[in-house]
Every structure is written in structure tokens, then in C-alpha cells.
A and B are shown apart, each in its own frame.
Chain A
């Protein structure tokens, strides 16, 4: 792309792009985010390209390959524009029919439509699907309008209007005031007011200043940052450029998690495109703004999501946090004033500039403004990314949008905020989801992960899972976190193994308090949350493990056994073949048996048995 010389040049280019897209034919929007790639969108894409070529229909149908639409469970999925017809679970062999029927003749292929699990009805249009209809998609909506690394698409969708208006008519102070007035708070989990952070960094003495985009989305069960950076990297870059102008920074970093190869590739490409177009580099859009971005690839460490640890990683060191009595806005990357925000925070910035602080502040609850993207996963019907105004209740998210538990079971709890968050029981589902309310209830919004749990999830095992995770990921610098989490894990593991004692629960609470109060960084300070919240809401499950040596959910392996019901076993041999540990024996068409010594209680046999003959006790 040729360099965009100035603000008028940008607008002229946009009009040209809009003009050329106006006479467009039908467009097939195909999601090719990480999720859909896993379910095979690549082959579907090839099939579409081949079919269009075979029929010579390039003038009737174009394909737009986009980032994540958020309805990952239904992938591979496609939307036909302008009709809005939505097809899901696509296979390459469906493609000729779609082209012949829908594209050519406007007829809907019924069998490829989405079936609403609640009503059993087939739904034609994307906008009518309850999962989408009940959301308010501001950030995610752009994902399906653009091809992630196409600057043309981003410009045509209104991209860089915010930066142009900032450079043309607003002082840095005015920009900061706009962000402050919008009420935007950090989306990475801290919830710190963004405008205040920017103002502090601008005011801090020292040159050069840095801005950082934290794309080290480490919370397991959260992937909204991946989807945003992967699906719309230019929005993040535009947000960062506006921030750099407001703060007075000339250099920025995007720190991308090692486990997100596609997000990394798209961010790198978008940065290169922006440089070529004169939207990054020196003299941006013909003004005297100089700003460049480098991509830093993470090397795999959960603690690197903590701001000081992340900065250490960019400096090429072990990512250990440091005490924050001097804030990073004053003393950050290479001891210079540094403003770090999360991907979603940066992506919100252009929208706030374009539509105004009042528009943003009109959404959400009293102290938490705007929309937030949540990753709704686990044992729920509709898994995917959900963008709703802050203050939406858990019930609305889990039931109205998520469709409740899958496989006909009942929802027991939802885990929010990742390893730093907690588990909230169904009785608390009327709580509005915002920073303050969830914290009061013993959990947190965090980066927005929401893992739904049902009767088959053991809450003690969940606490053990998070402790194990955190013990692995503790950097080991401070004693309370390094040793305290380990001790808590020992106790909870003992409880899971049926070796728990009644006094353990008090000890756990005491340890939790100490670790929370004395750890150096947020990893340790919030590490006890999963234990505290499960103890608070699911104490009966702990008691059952300790007093009755029983795991009510049938998960903890030391407390369960599998045996074969002689009445039901047909001797088909499926379990014998499936057992990875060789614990099942029996002749063909004869009763099979499980050897309790060799059995690891993985439950694979129960899963493959078609006669429900493997009984869990």
C-alpha cells in the first residue's frame, strides 16, 4: 500500500474503498479463527474457492476470510452477505450445494442451519440466533466485517477515523479527558481506570516513554484477547497509537503469548502494513507524531501477565515481578514511564474517541462502564465469546445466551476470573457482573473467563486444579506464594485422596489468608481465591470428602471405583480395547472384569460402553 500522506488523503482513500465495495456482489464470510481452524475451516475454504472457480462465479460471490466470530462451538461457520443466512458445522462436501442453492437461487439449505437447542427450531439468520441476539457486540462485531490483516477492510469499516480526529483536532490532554470521562477500566483483570493511568504516565518525568499492549492472556479458559488481536489487529494498533499520542510515547510493544501463533502472525503483519501506509513510524499521517511498535513473543510463563514481570520479559530477563511501591507509569520498561493496557482495553479506545465518552458511559453499571467480552466455556450449551454491557447478570449470560448446561445436566456453578477468581454457585446467578459486585461475592471479573460447571464437576478437584496450576506458575521469588500455595495444594490433594481431616479446613483458611496478605504480586495475592470461594459456597463437598470419604461428583480418583455390571455386560470387548492401562479382562461374549489394582479410574471404559454396564461407585 502507498503511504497515506495526510488526513485528507486518508478520507479520500476510505471513500474510494467504500465506492469499490458498494458494487460488490454476495460475500461469503468465513470464520478462520483458531477455533474454526481446529474444526476444519481450511478445507471448507479451499472447497469454496474451487467451486467458485469451477462454476466461473467470481463475479457473483466473493469470500471474506475473517477472524473469530465467537460462536466457536458451531464451527466451521459462515455467513452470507447481504442476506445474513448463517450456516454452521460446515464440511467441504456441503459447499457445492450452498453455491448452487443459496448463492445462485437464494434458497436456504435447511440442514445446515443452526438449531436452537431450547426450541428445536432451525434459525436462518445470524441476527436471529439467541446467542448473538442477546449480546451487544461492539468490539466483536468488527471481527466479521474485516479480513484481519487487510488494512483496506479496516479502513472501509471506519478504521483510523478515531486517530485522524485525534491528530486533527484534539490535544493530548483532551484525549485523556475523553478516556477518563468514558469510565473505561482495564480489561485485563485489574479494572484500574484507564484515563487515570494515561494521565499519570503523561505527567511522569523521563524520556522516552513506552506503551505496551498486554496480549499475554494466561488465564486458562479466557481467549477474548486472542480473538481480538487475531481478528482485528489494526484496532489494537490504532488504540495504541492514540494512547501514544496522548501519553507522549514514541515506542510501543505488543507482548503476545507464545501459545497464540495466529495472533502473533496477524499482529506482525498488521504492524508491517501500518508502517508501509505511514500509520506507524515517523510523521504519522503527515503530522509530527512518531510512533513505532515492536512485537515481543512470550516464552511461556503465566506470571508474565503481571505488568512488572511482563516488562522484565521484554527486557530479555526472567519474568519475575517486583514490588510496585513505585508504579510502572513512572518506572517501567527500562526504568522509563510505561503505560501498559490489555488488548481489549486498547481495542475500546477508537470506539470511545469515535462515539464519545457519554456514549460509552451510557452502557454498563454504575462503576463499570461499557461492554465486556466473556469467554463462556465448560459444561454449557453455547460455548463462545459473549460481549455484553457490564452489569449483565450471570443468569442472563449462562442461561439466556449460553443456553444452560449441556447434555441435560444442571448447572452448579460458574468459575470467573481464572486462577485468580472464584466459583459462584447457581444461587448467586442474579448478581450483576461488574468489577465491584463479583469481588464482593468472592470472585472477580478478571480477564473475562467464565467456565460453567455442572453436577459432574467436583469443586474440591477444581480448587486442587487451580492450586496445581498456580504452584507450577509461581515464579518462586517470594516465600508466601512459593511455599504457601504448595502447602495448600498438599492439603487439598490429601482431601481429594480421602486422607483429609476435619482440622484441614481451618488450616486451609488460615493459610489462604496469609498467602493473600503477604504475597508480592497479584498472582500470589489472588491465588487463594479458588479455595476460599469453594470453601464458602461448597463446603458440603469438602465435608463429604473428609467425613464420608466420598466424592459427590464422582471425579476424585482415590474415592471412586469402576466395576462392570454382570447384568448389563454383553462381552462386546469395547472397554477392553479402550482401556489404555490394560486393566480390563474377559473373553469375547463373556462377562468382563476390571482389575482394581491396575485401574487408574480414568473412566475411559465407562465412556465407550454402549450398554451402561460400567458402573461408577
Chain B
């Protein structure tokens, strides 16, 4: 599967070494992670040693090397959020879901990551769920949010099996 996507991503490029980060970014967006197979392929097509591709993929935070959960919870740990209680948000998520930052729940539903700053400092603590920003978070609000996503997902899954 990744072969086809890598093919498509490279189709409209000149495929020079300078494109490496951009290609990886597009792949991350398309697939949700960078697999070893696609790294090998990119290495071949861009004529960059595999070790270098792997190094870049490991170095930058935007790249995930494992498949991510269906829902991504991003907890901002910037200074402004930190002094307003962001560590408690991490606590809440790991307490609720049993995962640490960077991990995915066993059912594949949630992935949690921490980020250094989202630049929405006036609204801290900030938690982003699937691209939607939630401001002035509290552990209670976060718990309800997670529960509602769960319910939503179960409902969708229910519909799916009905059909």
C-alpha cells in the first residue's frame, strides 16, 4: 500500500535530496506514519542512503514511526500552559486511557502526544483533539471530551455493523 502512495507523492517532484523532508511530511499526512518500507523506497528514489532517511524521520517531531490511533490528542506543554496546570492534562489523559505521551491505546482509538507550544498561550491550558483547539481546559472538561469521542465512535461503529 505504501508503495503506491510513495509513487504518487513522488510523481510530481524532481526527486532531489532536498525534497526529503517535504516528501516525508506528505507521507505522514497521507498515511499517519512513516513505515520502514516507505523509508527504503524513498531512499532509493531520492538516492539518499537509508540511514540518512531514517535519521531525518527520527529527528523531527512531526514524524511518527508507528501507526497512530484514530483520534489524536495533543496536549500543549508550553510555558504558559505549564504554569496554568498543563501537567494535570497529561495526568488526566494517561489516567483515563492508560497511555503515556507518544503511545496509542490498545484498541487503536487514541494516540496522545505532547507538544512544546501551539502559540495559543493566552488560552492555556490548550488541548487539541483531531485538529480542533480546546481552550482553558480542565481535567473535568477533558474527561468529558474523551468520553464523548468514545461514545461518538461507538455509535459510528454500531451504525457500521448495522449496515
Distance in Å: Cβ of B59 to nearest Cβ of chain A: 5
**Bound CA–CA A607/B142 (angstroms):** 14
Among A299, A301, A418, A475, chain B packs the most CB atoms within 10 A around the CB of: A299
Tell yes or no: A168 within 8 A of B by CB.
no
Q: Are B59 and A318 in contact (CB under 8 A)?
A: yes
Residue of B nearest to A297 (CB): B25
Distance in Å: Cβ of B126 to nearest Cβ of chain A: 7
Chain B residues whose C-beta falls within 8 Å of the C-beta of A603 in the assembled complex: 85, 88
**Bound CA–CA A316/B20 (angstroms):** 5
Tell yes or no: A73 within 8 A of B by CB.
yes
Tell yes or no: B62 within 8 A of A by CB.
yes
**Bound CA–CA A272/B107 (angstroms):** 43
Chain B residues whose C-beta falls within 8 Å of the C-beta of A75 in the assembled complex: 123
Bits for B86-108, please: 1 = Cβ < 8 Å to A, else 0: 01100110111000000000000
Q: A316-B18, A451-B83, A465-B82 are in contact. Are A300 and B123 (CB under 8 A)?
A: no
Q: Are B19 and A316 in contact (CB under 8 A)?
A: yes
Stretch of B2-10, B132-140, B155-163 lying at the A interface: B132-140
Chain A residues whose C-beta falls within 8 Å of the C-beta of B20 in the assembled complex: 316-317
Chain B residues whose C-beta falls within 8 Å of the C-beta of A578 in the assembled complex: 139-140, 143
Interfacial residues of chain B within 63-98, with CB under 8 A of chain A in the complex: 63, 77-80, 82-85, 87-88, 91-92, 94-96
Stretch of A35-43, A234-242, A486-494 lying at the B interface: A35-43
**Bound CA–CA A368/B17 (angstroms):** 41
Count of A-B contacts judged by CB separation below 8 Å: 160
Q: Are B17 and A316 in contact (CB under 8 A)?
A: yes
Residue of B nearest to A582 (CB): B95
**Bound CA–CA A466/B79 (angstroms):** 8
Tell yes or no: A346 within 8 A of B by CB.
no
Tell yes or no: A72 within 8 A of B by CB.
yes
Distance in Å: Cβ of A349 to nearest Cβ of chain B: 23
Q: Are A600 and B91 in contact (CB under 8 A)?
A: yes
Chain A residues whose C-beta falls within 8 Å of the C-beta of B50 in the assembled complex: none
| Size category of the binding interface on chain A | 35 or more
Q: Are A38 and B123 in contact (CB under 8 A)?
A: yes
Tell yes or no: A132 within 8 A of B by CB.
no
Which of B22, B91, B117, B140 sits near A316, CB closer than 8 Å? B22
Chain A residues whose C-beta falls within 8 Å of the C-beta of B118 in the assembled complex: 34, 259
**Bound CA–CA A222/B117 (angstroms):** 8
Bits for A217-230, please: 1 = Cβ < 8 Å to B, else 0: 11111110010000
Interfacial residues of chain A within 595-617, with CB under 8 A of chain B in the complex: 600, 602-604, 607-608
Q: Are A35 and B123 in contact (CB under 8 A)?
A: yes
Q: Are A375 and B79 in contact (CB under 8 A)?
A: no
Q: Are A221 and B21 in contact (CB under 8 A)?
A: no
Distance in Å: Cβ of B14 to nearest Cβ of chain A: 12
Chain A residues whose C-beta falls within 8 Å of the C-beta of B139 in the assembled complex: 578, 580, 602, 604, 607-608
Q: Are A377 and B88 in contact (CB under 8 A)?
A: no
Which of B52, B95, B119 sits near A259, CB closer than 8 Å? B119
Tell yes or no: B39 within 8 A of A by CB.
no
Tell yes or no: B121 within 8 A of A by CB.
yes
Q: A258-B62, A301-B59 are in contact. Are A223 and B120 (CB under 8 A)?
A: yes
Tell yes or no: B122 within 8 A of A by CB.
yes
Q: A318-B55, A580-B92 are in contact. Are A34 and B120 (CB under 8 A)?
A: yes
Tell yes or no: B115 within 8 A of A by CB.
yes
Distance in Å: Cβ of A422 to nearest Cβ of chain B: 13
Tell yes or no: B56 within 8 A of A by CB.
yes
Q: Are B121 and A602 in contact (CB under 8 A)?
A: no
Tell yes or no: B112 within 8 A of A by CB.
no
Stretch of A20-28, A277-285, A378-386 lying at the B interface: A378-386
Q: Are B56 and A318 in contact (CB under 8 A)?
A: yes
Q: A223-B121, A313-B21 are in contact. Are A38 and B78 (CB under 8 A)?
A: no
Chain A residues whose C-beta falls within 8 Å of the C-beta of B22 in the assembled complex: 297, 316
Q: Are B123 and A299 in contact (CB under 8 A)?
A: no
**Bound CA–CA A581/B139 (angstroms):** 12
Tell yes or no: A124 within 8 A of B by CB.
no
Chain A residues whose C-beta falls within 8 Å of the C-beta of B19 in the assembled complex: 316
Interfacial residues of chain A within 349-388, with CB under 8 A of chain B in the complex: 375, 377-379, 383-384
Q: Are A604 and B121 in contact (CB under 8 A)?
A: no
Residue of A nearest to B135 (CB): A38
Q: A297-B22, A318-B56 are in contact. Are A35 and B122 (CB under 8 A)?
A: yes
Tell yes or no: A245 within 8 A of B by CB.
no
Bits for A566-601, please: 1 = Cβ < 8 Å to B, else 0: 000000000000111100000000000000000010
**Bound CA–CA A125/B37 (angstroms):** 60
Tell yes or no: A449 within 8 A of B by CB.
yes
Q: Can you list 28 pairs linking A and B with CB atoms under 8 Å apart?
A: A34-B118, A34-B120, A37-B133, A38-B135, A39-B135, A72-B123, A220-B79, A221-B79, A221-B80, A223-B120, A223-B121, A259-B116, A259-B117, A259-B119, A301-B59, A314-B18, A315-B18, A318-B59, A451-B79, A465-B82, A578-B139, A580-B139, A581-B91, A602-B88, A603-B88, A604-B88, A604-B91, A607-B138
Shortest 9 CB-CB contacts between residues of A and residues of B: A580-B95, A300-B61, A72-B122, A38-B133, A220-B78, A223-B119, A299-B60, A220-B117, A377-B80
Known: A299-B21, A315-B18. 11 other contacts (CB 8 A): A38-B126, A72-B121, A223-B119, A259-B118, A299-B63, A300-B63, A377-B121, A377-B124, A451-B80, A465-B79, A581-B95
